[in-house]
């Protein structure tokens, strides 16, 4: 089911949470709503779900106007960040809940619950209580519960937000694989650009209640529409007054700054950090007396740093790589 959001405005009192937001979400896609805290991502998701009503504009789901259709009749499954499970019910009962209130036949419910628990790899925990699961397992249970009713659309609001980095990463990979299996149109909210770049087919960048850009992860990363998208999608640093990604800077060594060609910025390494396979250096560019120039961050691989024998205090030259994205 495709989702079309047209010219949606939403105010809370005199605060504009969404301003003229239009987004087309393709059938079967995995779309991320990405942006900083307070930007309006959850509000947009809640409007798609029918939990919030837009002040103006429309929502179309599967080609039908759903703007005035109540949430329970939109055919959407919803998972929140702090998922409220029924604590006194087993995992299986939690997954069955949506089907039971829809009064589906008992054997159909049993079969569907089995399939769903299988899909999220929780079959062996069917009889446990939610409190006996880990955070990641509880999130998978929440997804199984949302998928059990065979939604046309799956909406996830920071589904992995409260989990630690390693579990988040596992669940991300798992969500991608699950989506490739079931192909339900999925929209998820995240403020984590890496999560969006890794999982989504399409990313909608939302900031201050407005859509900044919509595109594939590659489009956004390589062709950001504006400085906000450039900065939000990955680290940037400033070299010679232009914004550039730290891994798009070449480091050249020389005996003294006088050896560098004119386009190379000379400076001294003030900090050097090894993090996993990366080496991050901070370089204080040479500046005329009295002038202040911001330090430049550069990311290299360990072998590049080793080859240049980089160390704190060393004079190096910096230049944006050919083909680097600069702004
Ligand atoms: N019911 C409400 N009443 C008043 N203001 C609200 C309400 N819901 C949201 N807002 C405000 O609207 C803005 C957008 O909120 P929203 O939850 O959509 O942002 P978000 O991008 O999802 O942020 P986060 O990543 O922090 O969840 C915020 O400034 C928020 O305080």
CATH number of the domain encompassing residue 308: 2.40.50.100
What is the residue with the minimal CA distance to atom 16 of ligand 1?
A: 40
Task: Tell me the per-residue pLDDT of 122-157, one tens digit each, with 9 for 90 and over.
Answer: 999 999 999 999 888 888 898 888 888 888 899 999
- Is there a contact between 99 and 145 (Cβ–Cβ < 8 Å)? no
Are both 58 and 207 inside the same structural domain? yes
- Is there a contact between 3 and 185 (Cβ–Cβ < 8 Å)? yes
Are both 134 and 269 inside the same structural domain? no
More confident residue, 283 or 241: 283
What is the residue with the minimal CA distance to atom 31 of ligand 1?
A: 38
Does residue 299 lie in a domain region? yes
Task: Tell me the per-residue pLDDT of 124-133, one tens digit each, with 9 for 90 and over.
Answer: 999 999 999 9
Are both 140 and 225 inside the same structural domain? yes
Task: Tell me the per-residue pLDDT of 217-238, one tens digit each, with 9 for 90 and over.
Answer: 999 988 899 989 998 998 899 9
* Ligand 1 midpoint to CA 208 (Å): 10
DSSP per residue, 130-175? GGGS-HHHHHHHHHHHHHHT--SEEEEESTTTTS-HHHHHHHHHHH
- Is there a contact between 136 and 170 (Cβ–Cβ < 8 Å)? yes
Range of the domain at 65: 3-232
Token reading at 302: 């360990």
* Ligand 1 midpoint to CA 18 (Å): 10
pLDDT at 21: 97
CA–CA distance, 214 with 216 (Å, rounded to integer) = 7
What is the residue with the minimal CA distance to atom 5 of ligand 1?
A: 12
Does residue 326 lie in a domain region? no
Beta strands in 139-201 (DSSP E): 153-157, 185-190
Are both 249 and 123 inside the same structural domain? no
What is the residue with the minimal CA distance to atom 24 of ligand 1?
A: 37
Does residue 283 lie in a domain region? yes
pLDDT at 11: 97
Model confidence at 166, pLDDT cuts 50, 70, 90, reads confident
Are both 218 and 260 inside the same structural domain? no
What is the residue with the minimal CA distance to atom 2 of ligand 1?
A: 12
Model confidence at 85, pLDDT cuts 50, 70, 90, reads confident
Q: Which of 177, 200, 232 finishes a domain?
A: 232
Q: Which of 232, 249, 270 finishes a domain?
A: 232
Does residue 244 lie in a domain region? yes
Specify the 3-state DSSP secondary structure of 244: strand
pLDDT at 22: 97
**49-65 average pLDDT score:** 95
Are both 54 and 19 inside the same structural domain? yes
Are both 185 and 166 inside the same structural domain? yes
Q: Please identify which residue in the block is written with the tokens 């699950």.
A: 178
Pocket test for ligand 1, best of 17, 45, 192, 204 (most atoms within 8 A of CB): 17
What is the residue with the minimal CA distance to atom 25 of ligand 1?
A: 37
* Ligand 1 midpoint to CA 195 (Å): 21
Task: Tell me the per-residue pLDDT of 292-307, one tens digit each, with 9 for 90 and over.
Answer: 889 999 999 999 999 9
* Ligand 1 midpoint to CA 214 (Å): 21
* Ligand 1 midpoint to CA 160 (Å): 18
Q: Which of 180, 207, 232 finishes a domain?
A: 232
pLDDT, the chain, mean = 90
Specify the 3-state DSSP secondary structure of 301: strand
Task: Tell me the per-residue pLDDT of 274-283, one tens digit each, with 9 for 90 and over.
Answer: 998 899 999 9
Of 194-198, 253-257, 269-273, the range with the highest mean pLDDT is 269-273
Token reading at 150: 């065979």
Are both 226 and 248 inside the same structural domain? no
More confident residue, 291 or 42: 42
pLDDT at 33: 97
Are both 48 and 170 inside the same structural domain? yes
ipTM score: 0.92
Q: Is 128 exposed, middle or buried (0-12, 13-18, 19+ CB in 10 A)?
A: middle
User: Residue 164: pLDDT above 90?
Assistant: no
Closest CA to 185 of 149, 156, 225: 156
Are both 226 and 100 inside the same structural domain? yes
* Ligand 1 midpoint to CA 94 (Å): 29
What is the residue with the minimal CA distance to atom 28 of ligand 1?
A: 38
pLDDT at 251: 94
* Ligand 1 midpoint to CA 40 (Å): 6
* Ligand 1 midpoint to CA 57 (Å): 19
Q: Please identify which residue in the block is written with the tokens 């050249």.
A: 252
Model confidence at 79, pLDDT cuts 50, 70, 90, reads confident
The alpha carbon dihedral of 239, 244, 246, 251 has a sign of negative
Are both 75 and 213 inside the same structural domain? yes
Q: What is the pTM of this model?
A: 0.83
Task: Tell me the per-residue pLDDT of 200-219, one tens digit each, with 9 for 90 and over.
Answer: 999 999 999 999 999 999 99
Residues with CB under 6 A from ligand 1: 12, 15, 17, 35, 37-43, 189, 191
Structural domain count of the chain: 2
Q: CATH number, domain at 165?
A: 3.40.50.300
Does residue 327 lie in a domain region? no
What is the residue with the minimal CA distance to atom 3 of ligand 1?
A: 12
DSSP 8-state symbol, 235:
-
What is the residue with the minimal CA distance to atom 22 of ligand 1?
A: 42
Does residue 325 lie in a domain region? no
Closest CA to 47 of 98, 5, 82: 5
CA–CA distance, 321 with 325 (Å, rounded to integer) = 9
Task: Tell me the per-residue pLDDT of 2-37, one tens digit each, with 9 for 90 and over.
Answer: 999 999 999 999 999 999 999 999 999 999 999 999
Q: What percent of the chain has pLDDT over 70?
A: 96
Specify the 3-state DSSP secondary structure of 307: helix
Are both 176 and 247 inside the same structural domain? no
Atom of ligand 1 nearest to the CA of 43: 18
Does residue 265 lie in a domain region? yes
Beta strands in the chain (DSSP E): 3-12, 15-25, 30-34, 56-61, 64-65, 76-79, 153-157, 185-190, 202-207, 210-215, 237-239, 242-244, 249-253, 265-275, 278-285, 296-301, 315-320
């Amino acid at each position: 089911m495709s989702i079309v959001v047209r010219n949606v405005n939403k105010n809370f009192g005199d605060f504009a949470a969404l301003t003229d937001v239009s987004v087309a979400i393709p059938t079967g896609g995995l779309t991320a709503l990405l942006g900083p805290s307070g930007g309006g991502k959850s509000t947009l998701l809640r409007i798609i779900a029918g939990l919030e009503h837009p002040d103006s504009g429309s929502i179309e789901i599967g080609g039908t106007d759903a703007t005035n259709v109540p949430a329970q009749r939109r055919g959407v499954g919803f998972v929140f960040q702090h998922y409220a499970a029924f604590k006194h019910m087993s995992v299986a009962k939690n997954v069955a809940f949506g089907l039971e209130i829809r009064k589906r036949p008992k054997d159909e419910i049993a079969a569907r619950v089995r399939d769903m628990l299988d899909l999220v790899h929780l079959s062996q925990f069917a009889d446990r209580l939610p409190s006996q699961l880990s955070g990641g397992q509880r999130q998978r249970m929440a997804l199984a519960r949302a998928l059990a009713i065979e939604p046309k659309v799956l909406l996830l609001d920071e589904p992995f937000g409260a989990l630690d980095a390693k579990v988040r990463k596992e669940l991300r990979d798992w969500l991608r694989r699950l989506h490739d299996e079931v192909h339900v149109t999925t929209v998820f909210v995240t403020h984590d650009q890496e999560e969006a770049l890794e999982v989504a087919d399409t990313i909608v960048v939302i900031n201050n209640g407005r859509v900044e850009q919509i595109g594939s992860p590659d489009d956004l990363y390589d062709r950001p529409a504006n400085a906000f998208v450039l900065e939000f999608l990955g680290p940037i640093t400033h070299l010679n007054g232009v914004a550039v990604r730290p891994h798009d800077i070449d480091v050249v060594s020389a005996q003294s700054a006088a050896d560098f060609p004119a386009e190379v910025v000379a400076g001294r390494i003030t900090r050097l950090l090894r993090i996993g396979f990366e080496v991050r250096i901070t370089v204080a560019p040479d500046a005329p007396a009295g002038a202040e120039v911001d330090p430049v961050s550069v990311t290299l691989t360990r072998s590049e740093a080793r080859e240049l024998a980089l160390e704190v205090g060393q004079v190096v030259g910096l230049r944006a790589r050919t083909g680097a994205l600069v702004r």
